Structure 1
Amino acid sequence: MATTSDKIIVCAYHNVGYRCITELLRQGAEIALIFSHEDSAGEQIWFESVRELAGRHGIPCLTSEINAPENVERVRELAPDFLFSFYYRSMIKPEVLEIPRKGALNLHGSYLPKYRGRVPVNWAVINGETETGATLHYMVEKPDAGEIVDQERVPILFTDTAQDVFHKVTDAAVEVLSRSWPLLREEKAARVPMDLSAGSYFGGRKPADGRIDWSRSAVEIYNLVRGVTHPYPGAFAHLDGRKVTVWSARPMEGNGEPGCIMSLDPLVVGTGKGLLELRSLQVEGEEELAGNRIELANTAHFD
């Protein structure tokens, strides 16, 4: 069990935050304070609440930024041994990272140094990767660049959506933390320098980034669709001036002009290479329907 000297402050949100805090508590860790976020009104909340978890365990939880001057001072006064970040959405300033006596660590949703930066799971699916992972590493000023403590790989199946992969990565994150926490407490955990030249950095994504480019291959468009489908904003195109979100698709062999509707049942569209069956669609302002049930006007082409 952790001793009273192993005082922790946690910055956390989403399922990764919920599950990792649960694992620390399972191992008897002393969490003195949690920083989290207010839920965004424009976001589909499909994940567990860190704030509710903190409340059930009587742990103080703040949704104001840890970088705010009054919170930096509060962290100093608590003098934690560790600071953990589990899916916290703000970059933590160096002045905060320097406070914990035994280090500040982050659990990142990729097999670092690949996919440093924002929304790594979505990017991995969009780029057609066949595996990703979870990495526990020390935090430094540069994002996702500090020494690696432990990692776990997870497979990405061709049929996986980003949410499927996110669940796998969350399980891997908990596994990594469960192995690492006892070693961190004893100051015996690995500290492997990260070779940034062997990896990549990706920025965040906006809903507008989901626009389909029909000149891309069917597989590339399919990867975009499954990388941003529910509960994310979705990939979209325009038909008869209406925005149409594609929630599910399937690449097929064949040829057709990019964006051109090749058949109605099933609904198949040409791409830069191959064909794409649109299996589930949603015209803006209407309900989601199977592709072959969408009513088409006098057009035979997606923009």
Structure 2
Amino acid sequence: MQAKQRAVVFAYHNVGVRCLKVLLAGGVDVALVVTHQDSTSENIWFESVISLCQTEGVPFITPEHARDDELRAQIAAAKPDLIFSFYYRHMLPESILAIAPAYNMHGSLLPQFRGRAPVNWAVLHGATETGATLHEMTVKPDAGAIVAQTAVPILPDDTAHEVFGKVTVAAEQTLWNILPSLLAGSAPRTLNDLSQGGYFGGRKPEDGRIDWSQPAAQVYNLHRAVAPPYPGAFTDINGRRYVIERARLYKDPLPSLPPGLAVVDNGIFGVCGDGGALAIHSLLADGLPISAAELKANLSASGE
């Protein structure tokens, strides 16, 4: 009988949990998991890698960063045949990648949307599909050869959070399907053509600020890309912050109204530069729900 292959796994987030479960179910000897300390705020919707390790009796550590001689020594001592990274938040240095063949699970169809927050960027750009890609790790992020990938659709009204749920399942399926070949050393490799797609950076809450002069479709994509549980698309009026919680593209144009928030027939709308609009079904003012009547009074008081 062939001996189990040993792995060191860098993992976090829902993808980290699901892919770690795949390795355990696939008979991989997980010698060590490197993860992050759980965040109370993030675990509102993130599953816990630490909790899974405790349940399964898998050794884990939570170093502050990956560029540490002690961490490299711990990984080398585990004598892994393979190294995996599943939504771990730090880049792995060359000194660690040199220990064993290393593979990363990325939340897009590489080479598209390389870098940080790939699901949010895909929704923001109006992409109609994305997915999960397992690829060889190199020092350059998301640049190694593609081993396997699985596509999922992005429907017109999907938020990034909804798409991320699909990508999590796609990551699990991708790893489950390729794992036997990967362990046997027969998994295929496909060129990751870096002339296609592009790199994208991390996103900050301020990136959710709405420019109402943009077309309605573009503003709607911003809303979908950052809708709760992300911080949300927002606009500031007279010192108050209004955050769109739920909205849809409105079927009719509202060209007679200036761009910005408006109340029409007791409904809240976001009017955009092309005359199109978002029908806003739930709006927060300084973190609290606000009705159409309250918004109308606020806008009148501010001269909007």
- Once residues 43 and 24 of structure 2 are traced to their aligned partners in structure 1, the CA distance between those partners, rounded to angstroms, is 28
- Once residues 217 and 24 of structure 2 are traced to their aligned partners in structure 1, the CA distance between those partners, rounded to angstroms, is 43
TM-score (norm 2): 0.93
Are positions 1:208 and 2:206 aligned together?
yes
Amino acid at match of 1:75: I
Are positions 1:221 and 2:219 aligned together?
yes
- Judged with a 3 Å threshold, the aligned counterparts in structure 2 of structure 1 residues 63 and 272 are, in CA distance, closer, same or farther, namely same
The one of 109, 112, 128 equivalent to 2:110 is 112
The one of 278, 281, 288 equivalent to 1:279 is 281
- Once residues 292 and 123 of structure 1 are traced to their aligned partners in structure 2, the CA distance between those partners, rounded to angstroms, is 34
Structure 2 gaps of 5+ residues are none
Whether the 8 Å CA contact 2:38–2:50 is kept in 1: the answer is no
**1:241 maps to which residue?**
239
- Once residues 291 and 26 of structure 1 are traced to their aligned partners in structure 2, the CA distance between those partners, rounded to angstroms, is 52
**1:266 maps to which residue?**
267
Whether the 8 Å CA contact 1:248–1:278 is kept in 2: the answer is yes
- Once residues 262 and 15 of structure 2 are traced to their aligned partners in structure 1, the CA distance between those partners, rounded to angstroms, is 41
- Judged with a 3 Å threshold, the aligned counterparts in structure 2 of structure 1 residues 44 and 247 are, in CA distance, closer, same or farther, namely farther
- Equivalent residues in 2 for 1:85-104, closer than 5 Å: 85-100=85-100, 103-104=101-102
Q: 1:230-257, CA deviations, whole angstroms, 9 ceiling, x for partnerless residues?
A: 1111111012320111111222231232
Shift of 1:45: 3.0
**1:30 maps to which residue?**
29
Whether the 8 Å CA contact 2:157–2:248 is kept in 1: the answer is no
Whether the 8 Å CA contact 1:280–1:288 is kept in 2: the answer is yes
**1:82 maps to which residue?**
82
**1:49 maps to which residue?**
48
- Once residues 2 and 146 of structure 2 are traced to their aligned partners in structure 1, the CA distance between those partners, rounded to angstroms, is 22
Greater CA deviation, 152-161 or 274-283?
274-283
Amino acid at match of 2:270: V
Secondary structure, aligned partner of 1:277: strand
- Judged with a 3 Å threshold, the aligned counterparts in structure 2 of structure 1 residues 291 and 74 are, in CA distance, closer, same or farther, namely farther
- Once residues 56 and 26 of structure 1 are traced to their aligned partners in structure 2, the CA distance between those partners, rounded to angstroms, is 14
Structure 1 gaps of 5+ residues are none
TM-score (norm 1): 0.93
The one of 96, 121, 124 equivalent to 1:123 is 121
Shift of 1:264: 5.6
Whether the 8 Å CA contact 1:2–1:27 is kept in 2: the answer is no
Aligned residues: 297
- Judged with a 3 Å threshold, the aligned counterparts in structure 2 of structure 1 residues 264 and 89 are, in CA distance, closer, same or farther, namely farther
- Once residues 82 and 289 of structure 2 are traced to their aligned partners in structure 1, the CA distance between those partners, rounded to angstroms, is 46
**1:68 maps to which residue?**
68
**1:152 maps to which residue?**
150
Amino acid at match of 1:47: F
Whether the 8 Å CA contact 2:268–2:292 is kept in 1: the answer is yes
Whether the 8 Å CA contact 1:93–1:141 is kept in 2: the answer is yes
The one of 179, 186, 189 equivalent to 1:188 is 186
Amino acid at match of 2:56: H
- Once residues 164 and 72 of structure 1 are traced to their aligned partners in structure 2, the CA distance between those partners, rounded to angstroms, is 36
Amino acid at match of 2:222: L
Secondary structure, aligned partner of 2:297: coil
- Once residues 127 and 86 of structure 1 are traced to their aligned partners in structure 2, the CA distance between those partners, rounded to angstroms, is 24
